[in-house]
Each structure stands twice: as C-alpha cells, then as structure tokens.
C-alpha cells in the first residue's frame, strides 16, 4: 500500500521519471482501446514558424500533470480503458512534406485496422490530412466518410493556391483534398471559431463551396454557445466523428505558443472550447488531434503545453466513456 501511494504521488510530477503521454505504457496498439500518438511534423506549415515538431515532446513532458479522473463525467478513463502511448510517427525525410504525410498515413493504417481510436498531438495542421487518409472509409468509420468537428481560427480549405510555400498537402489544404479524395463528408462536418483579419474577403468561400457548416467567431458571439452546440449535435449525430483542434482557436492569452496566432479578435476561453468539445459527447468519436503547439514560444510555466494536454484529456475521456469496459 505504501509503495502504491508513493508511485501515485510521483506519477503526478511531470519532472520525474520517463515521460510518456499521460504516463501511459508504450505497448502494442492492437491491445488498446485508445492509442496516443505524437506527430512531430512541421514542414506542412511552410513558414518560419516550424517549431511545431517539438509539440509531442513538450506534451509528453507536461501531461503527467493532466492524468486525472474526470470530475465532470464521474469516471476514471485510465482505470476503465486500455490506453497506450504508440510513440511518434517517424519522419526520415522530415523536410519533404509530401513524404511525411504518407508516413503519417502508413503509421495510422494499422491503428485503424486494430479498431483502436487515436488521439494525437502535433505537429502542424497538415498532420490531419495524413491521419484521415488512413481513417476515412476504414475500420473505425465502418466504411463511411469521416465527419469533422473542426475547431480553428482558420479554414484550412485554401483552394485558391495549389501549394503553400512548396507543400501541396499542407496545413492550408487538408480540408479540401480530403473531400476531393472521398474521405470526408463536409456537409456533416462543422468548422467553428474562424476569425482574424483575412488576406482576401472571399477567404471563407471555399468552405462554403465544399459544403462545410461554418460558424465564424463573430457568428458564435452573435448566436451564443448553446445555439452553436445544438447545431453541432444535429449535424454530427449518428456519424463517425473526428475532432481536430487547432490551438489557435483559443485566445492568445490562453494559448500564446501557437503558430499563425490571431491576436486581433478574441478567441475562445478554455471553458468555451471545452463546451464545444462536449457537444459530441456520447457520439461515435473515432479519434482526434491537437495541433500547432510551438513550445519554443511558450511562457516559462509552459501553459500552452498544459492546455494542449488538457484538450487531449477531454478527447480521451469522451472516447473512453463510450468504449470503457463495463463494470
């Protein structure tokens, strides 16, 4: 008993021991309900803001602080579900974005085949394209297309340019090419929180043309959280849901260390973002990712890394709640 108490105490200290995501064991994904994956990829963003590949290591470092029972849900996901740290996607050609996206797809195909639900930490937002190339029309979706709950300051459906500084399957393009490839159903997907000062006034038009259900930040403020949450529930009900969460949807005061920061318009508070995530609670959530963390720009207390881990925890808890072993 004393040894268990000491281990419990130490496991909550992020600076002690060998870091894994949320202190989960590194094990075979085929044995797991949920696989936590690091995707240390930066070349899909194409800008000088490339330190996003350091995100997985930072969250592994901090996530021990986030390993908790979920007070709101009233259960312990770690006790009721088999969750493993599946490691990092390897990128032997890390400066070749197109090769990296294929590496991501190849890494996630066995996860999908095992019917194990992935929750990932990036990495820039291009990683979502690689992941969904493996999950769309696959085992987890039951052969159906993926439906997104996409929470972001940006659309990532920028079809007016055919590459982003050389990256074709870039952080700016995955929302379009996944639909073109038949892996995503935009008419049953939500894009929520889009904001900022666009370079062109038609920046949202590609999302509308593809059929995405778009809620800008201005619309969210005007309509109110409850109305938007009801729309999410209606649009995604009965669908295979994948959550992709760009940390720049949050206000810079909440998450300062993000790429493509949008300081000109208030972003979500943490409570607002969690409420949006909880809109899909109880649904068939096949996985999720958290992207665009830049640890080299974080505050000394590493608040953005902790926020990223907190968002991952909400995804883990919602998935675990639906797949947990009956008591």
Domains recognised in the chain with CATH numbers? 19-323 (3.40.800.10)
> Which stretches of the chain are DSSP H helices?
2-11, 55-62, 77-80, 97-113, 127-135, 174-180, 205-210, 217-223, 225-236, 270-277, 303-323
- Cα 287 from Cα 285, distance rounded (Å): 6
Give the chain's length. Answer: 327
- Cα 211 from Cα 215, distance rounded (Å): 12
Write b or e for each residue in 233-268: b if 16 or more Cβ atoms lie within 10 A of its Cβ, otherwise e.
Answer: eebbeebbbbbbbbbbbbbbebbbbbbbbbeeeebb
What is the full per-residue pLDDT of the chain (327 aa) written as tens digits? Answer: 667 777 777 777 778 888 999 999 999 999 899 999 999 999 998 665 779 999 999 999 999 888 889 999 999 999 989 999 999 999 999 999 999 999 999 999 999 999 999 999 999 999 999 999 999 999 999 999 999 999 999 999 988 878 777 788 988 899 999 999 999 999 999 999 999 888 888 899 999 999 999 999 999 999 999 999 999 999 999 999 999 999 999 999 999 999 889 998 999 999 999 999 999 999 999 999 999 999 999 999 999 999 999 999 999 999 999 997 655
- CA distances for 152 relative to 60, 175, 215, 289, 305, angstroms: 23, 12, 10, 12, 17
- Cα 175 from Cα 186, distance rounded (Å): 9
Residue 259 main-chain phi, psi, to 5 deg: -80, 150
Nearest-10 Cα torsion for 91, 95, 98, 104: 20
Residue 292: name the closest of 74, 56, 89, 99 by CA: 56
Q: What is the DSSP string of 224-263?
A: -HHHHHHHHHHHHTTSEEEEEEEGGGB-TTT--SBSS---
Q: Are 38 and 88 in contact (CB under 8 A)?
A: yes
Three-state SS for 273-316 is HHHHHHHHCCCEEEEEEEECECHHHCCCCCHHHHHHHHHHHHHH
End-to-end CA distance of the chain: 23
pTM of the model: 0.95
Write down the residue that tokens 């990296």 correspond to.
Answer: 100
Residue 300's CB is within 10 A of a number of other CB atoms, namely 5
């Amino acid at each position: 008993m004393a040894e268990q108490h000491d281990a419990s105490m130490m496991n909550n200290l992020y600076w002690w021991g060998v870091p894994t995501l949320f202190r989960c064991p590194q094990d075979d994904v085929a044995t797991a309900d949920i696989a936590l994956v690091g995707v240390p990829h930066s070349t899909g963003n194409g800008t000088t803001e490339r330190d996003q590949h350091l995100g997985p290591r930072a969250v592994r470092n901090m996530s021990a602080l986030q390993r908790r029972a979920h007070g709101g849900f009233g259960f312990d996901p770690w006790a009721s579900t088999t969750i493993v740290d599946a490691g990092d996607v390897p990128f032997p050609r890390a400066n070749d974005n197109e090769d990296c996206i294929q590496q991501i797809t190849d890494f996630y195909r066995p996860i999908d085949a095992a019917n194990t639900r992935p929750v990932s930490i990036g990495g820039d937002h291009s990683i979502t394209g690689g992941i969904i190339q493996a999950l769309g029309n696959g085992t987890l979706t039951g052969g159906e297309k993926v439906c997104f709950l996409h929470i972001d300051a940006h659309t990532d459906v920028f079809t007016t340019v055919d590459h982003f500084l050389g990256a074709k399957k870039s952080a700016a393009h995955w929302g379009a090419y996944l639909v073109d490839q038949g892996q995503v159903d935009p008419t049953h997907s939500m894009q929520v929180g889009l904001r900022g000062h666009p370079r062109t006034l038609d920046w949202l038009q590609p999302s509308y043309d593809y059929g995405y259900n778009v809620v800008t930040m201005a619309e969210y403020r005007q309509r109110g959280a409850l109305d938007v949450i009801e729309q999410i529930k209606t649009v995604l009900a009965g669908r295979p849901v994948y959550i992709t969460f760009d940390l720049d949807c949050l206000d810079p005061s909440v998450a300062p260390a993000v790429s493509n920061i949008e300081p000109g318009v208030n972003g979500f508070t943490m409570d607002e973002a969690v409420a949006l995530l909880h809109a899909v609670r109880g649904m068939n959530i096949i996985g999720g990712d958290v992207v665009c963390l830049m640890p080299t720009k974080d505050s000394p207390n590493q608040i953005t890394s902790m926020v990223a881990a907190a968002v991952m925890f909400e995804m883990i808890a919602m998935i675990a709640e639906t797949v947990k072993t009956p008591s």
